[in-house]
Structure 1
Amino acid sequence: MADQITSDTANELIRCAADGDRASLDRLLASYSGYLNVLSRLHLDRRIQHRVSPSDIVQETLLEAHRDFAGFRGQQIDEFTGWLRQVLVHNIAEAVETHLVAAKRSVRAEQVVGNLSASVDRSHHRLARLAADPQRSPASEADHRESLSELAAALEQLPADYRTVIVLRHLEGLPFGDVAQRMERSTGAVRMLWLRAIEQLRVAMESQA
């Protein structure tokens, strides 16, 4: 499992990386690989996932972020995750253009990038709200200001069905009825699955504390 860091630690790693500390950059990027995995799995078009996998997109994103970090001008983790998302969107869009747009020229590449960027940003904000949700466990609201990297890593630990129901409900923002259709289950079964998944997510996050 990648080293999980708090937002304050991430900000310090950004400052050290900007000063040329490659070890800090390596640690920073490794800690956000789970975050990128969640977004890549959600937004890479399912029609091309037999040709290019979400993990392939993430690896390419991490390599490019490492190579191009000198061009990053931010100082805070929110700016860094925004920059990472831009790199991720570019790589997803390239995969879509290669495997889908080439076969359907009516879809313009700039439309793909614009739509993807807006969609990925929405997922980011929903993920951030889930990280700050005080109802996820009895602890105080202040205790739920975990970093996105910690939440994403916890999601990656969950069984596939648990991760799917949380992603569909919270990151895609679907009502339970639509989640049930996507998962081919009854609405009642999905609600019970979601409750178990949220509890498992809480346990997974507590194990990282």
Structure 2
Amino acid sequence: MANQIESDATIDLFRCAVDGDRASLDRLLASYSGYLNVLSRMHLDRRIQHRVSPSDVVQETLLEVHRDFPNFRGERIEEFTGWLRRVLVHNIAAAVETHLVAAKRSVRAEQVLESLSASVDQSHQRLASLAADQQRSPASEADHQESLSELAAALERLPPDYRTVIVLRHIDGLPFSDVADRMQRSAGAVRMLWLRAIEHLRIAMDQQV
């Protein structure tokens, strides 16, 4: 599976890509597609998702990163992950400016970009915290980055309701009452759904090891 990552594979792919191995770069970017999909689905304005899909934005982001990778000067995997987010943010902002004329007229592009960047970074931190919760032992920063990709890949493979409840609860940071309102279920039903979703997420991540 394209998004499945074996232990230490992400770090090895990153080092080989930095050394100029294009095949490793292709595999590295594929391993991050789930991570970018989670963020894009969360932050691409829902009013334009009938015109441009989150996966379209991710594909454009991956193409740009692949094209511009020779200019990347970072030395750590977390720097690479940060660069991916910045490219994604610019592409989401461009889509909003193109398809939401009112927003483009009433809000300065710089303000939109700054707000979106802060929101995506916050989602990244919450996603990273959830990834850390799934780890069974202390980990280095590089290990955290790999777990982040593994978590996102596992989320992408969950049934939609499981993925939604985890994203709303852990990444949007909503209380169960608000999650229940969003999902149009009772608070008790949402709690049970969340418990099942977390268990399935752990199983999905264990299958990647």
TM-score, L = length of structure 2:
0.92
1:46 maps to 46
C-alpha contact (below 8 Å) 2:86/2:117 kept by paired residues: yes
Which of 3-12 and 79-88 deviates more? Answer: 3-12
Q: Structure 1 stretch 62-71 or stretch 15-24: which is displaced more?
A: 15-24
Mapped pair 1:2 → 2:6: no
Q: Which amino acid aligns with 1:116?
A: L
| Residues in 1 aligned to 2:147 and 2:193: alpha-carbon distance in whole angstroms | 25
Question: CA separation in 2, counterparts of 1:163 and 1:8?
Answer: 25
Q: Hey, what's the Cα distance between the residues in 2 that align with 1:17 and 1:102?
A: 41
1:3 touches 1:30 (CA, 8 Å); kept in 2? yes
Letter in 2 for 1:200: H
Report the CA distance between 1:128 and its aligned residue: 0.7
- 3-state secondary structure, aligned to 1:97: helix
Instruction: State the alpha-carbon separation in 2 of the partners of residues 147 and 6 from structure 1.
Output: 10
Q: Is the 8 A contact 1:132 1:141 kept in 2?
A: no
* Cα displacement (A) at 1:12: 2.8
| Alpha-carbon distance in structure 2 between the residues aligned to 1:30 and 1:68 | 16
Mapped pair 1:141 → 2:137:
yes
Deviations 1:112-143 (A, max 9, x none): 1111100100111111111111xx5xx83348
| Contact 1:65–1:87 under 8 Å retained in 2 | yes
The match for 2:25 is 25
Name the counterpart of 2:151.
151
Whole-Å Cα distance in 2 between the matches of residues 3 and 175 of structure 1? 30
What is the number of equivalent residue pairs in this alignment?
205
Counterparts of 1:120-135 in structure 2, within 5 Å, are 120-133=120-133
Q: In the superposition, relative to structure 1, how do residues 14 and 172 fare at CA in structure 2: closer, same or farther (>3 Å)?
A: same
- Asked whether the 8 Å contact 2:6–2:208 carries over to 1, the reply is no
Report 1:1-209 matches (<5 A).
1-5=1-5, 8-101=8-101, 104-133=104-133, 136=134, 140-142=136-138, 147-209=147-209
Q: Give the whole-Å Cα distance in 2 for the aligned partners of 1:7 and 1:158.
A: 21
Specify the code of the residue in structure 1 equivalent to 2:60.
E
Corresponding letter in the other structure for 1:121 = D
Deviation at 1:11, TM superposition (A): 2.9
User: Do 1:57 and 1:91's aligned partners in 2 also have CA atoms closer than 8 Å?
Assistant: yes
Which amino acid in 1 is paired with 2:137?
A: E
Gaps of 5+ in 2: none
- Give the root-mean-square deviation of aligned CA atoms: 1.9
TM norm structure 1? 0.92
Q: Is the 8 A contact 2:3 2:153 kept in 1?
A: no
Conservation of the 8 A alpha-carbon contact between 2:5 and 2:208: no
Per-residue deviation at 1:182?
A: 0.8
Shift of 1:73: 1.1
Preserved CA contact (<8 Å) 1:5 1:147: no
| Superposed displacement of residue 107, structure 1 | 1.5
Gaps of 5+ in 1: none
Residue identity in the other structure for 1:112: V
Structure 2 distance, partners of 1:104, 1:19, is 41
